[in-house]
Amino acid sequence: MGIKYLGHSCFEIETKGKKILIDPFLAANPDYKPEGIYDIFVTHAHGDHLGKAIEISKETGAPITAIFELANYCAQRGAKTHGIGLGGWVNYSWGKVAAVPAFHSSSTPEGEYGGCPCGFVFEIEGNTIYHAGDTCLNSEMKTIGEFFQPDMAMLPIGGFYTMDIEQAVTAAEWLGVTAVIPMHYNTFDAISVDISEFERQIREKGKLPVIMKVNQELGK
Ligand code: NI
Ligand code: MN
């Protein structure tokens, strides 16, 4: 399994030759080519997460998995979709995924209701990975930790719209993860942080900060 950071909250996970794309907002990555994309996941309808999901779905044929209302919005614009709800595991050829609560809002670029925002828990090749989407710190993370026992979390740390560093560090403790990939920071002025402060606070809790540069890859 490989994880590639594409900027903001966007990641590509590769497993057995199949690529999974999450929240494809590619402002930091104008030359990105969506090759080999097999499934697309979108946590909520805001432009900095929906990004190019519809275009990439149409180009590659990869379906978009999203909360029902957002999936319908994408389907109306020509994308293939799986509209799901917060709940149990959904099976894929490469693993399984559950949509979990996120505390945020979700409206489409046209201002329509986008359904509830969510995070995703992925189980791939025996690894359990939680992508939080946009959210504040919330006690659901204790449930996610207890029930799904994730190994690693992608957590927003930029503040203003989501958790800040301090909340993300507490989230990492509640989730019981061993490693955290920070996301949703330094893309815009409102979410600028001192990343060394995140690194320091996460290490203080005995957890591993995995700070990824745009287009950097882990694992394989
Ligand atoms: Ni958002
Ligand atoms: Mn966002």
Secondary structure of 186-214 as H, E, C letters? CCCHHHCCCHHHHHHHHHHCCCEECCCCC
pTM (global) more than 0.95:
yes
14: confidence class by pLDDT, cuts 50, 70, 90: very high
Ligand 2 centroid distance, CA of 111 (Å): 15
The ligand placed nearest to the CA atom of residue 191 is 2
Lowest mean pLDDT among 25-34, 124-133, 144-153, 176-185: 25-34
Classify residue 165 by its DSSP letter: H
Two tokens, residue 186: 């330094």
Q: 74 CA to middle of ligand 1, Å?
A: 17
* Average pLDDT for the chain: 97
pLDDT at residue 220, rounded to an integer: 56
* Ligand index nearest the alpha carbon of residue 10: 2
The answer for 36, left when phi > 0, alpha when psi is -120 to 50, beta otherwise, is left
How large is the average pLDDT for residues 98-124?
A: 98
- Residue 6, pLDDT score: 98
pLDDT at 192: 98
What letter does residue 146 receive in the DSSP assignment? H
Q: How far is the CA of 72 from the centre of ligand 1 (A)?
A: 18
Taking the centre of ligand 1 as the mean of its atom positions, its distance from the CA of residue 105, in whole angstroms, is 7
Distance between Cα 183 and ligand 2 center (Å): 10
Query: DSSP string of 31-76?
Result: T---TTEEEEE-S-SSHHHHTTHHHHHHHH-PPEEEEHHHHHHHHH
- Is pLDDT above 70 for 37? yes
Question: Which pLDDT does position 219 carry in this prediction?
Answer: 77
Compute, in angstroms, the gap from residue 50 CA to the centroid of ligand 1. 9
What is the mean predicted confidence (pLDDT) over 58-76? 98
Tell me the mean pLDDT in the region 77-98: 98
Residue pair 95/78 in contact by the 8 Å Cβ criterion: no
| Nearest ligand by distance to the CA of 25 | 2
Delimit the domains of the chain by residue range.
Answer: 2-214
Q: Which amino acid is at 213?
A: K
Q: Give residues whose Cβ lies within 5 Å of ion ligand 2.
A: 48, 134
The fold adopted by the segment(s) 2-214 is: Metallo-beta-lactamase; Chain A (3.60.15)
The encoded tokens of residue 32 equal: 């990105």
What's residue 4's pLDDT? 97
pLDDT digits (tens, 9 = 90+) for 158-204: 999 999 999 999 999 999 999 999 999 999 999 999 999 999 999 99
1 CA to centre of ligand 1 in angstroms: 27
Which tokens go with 168?
């993300």
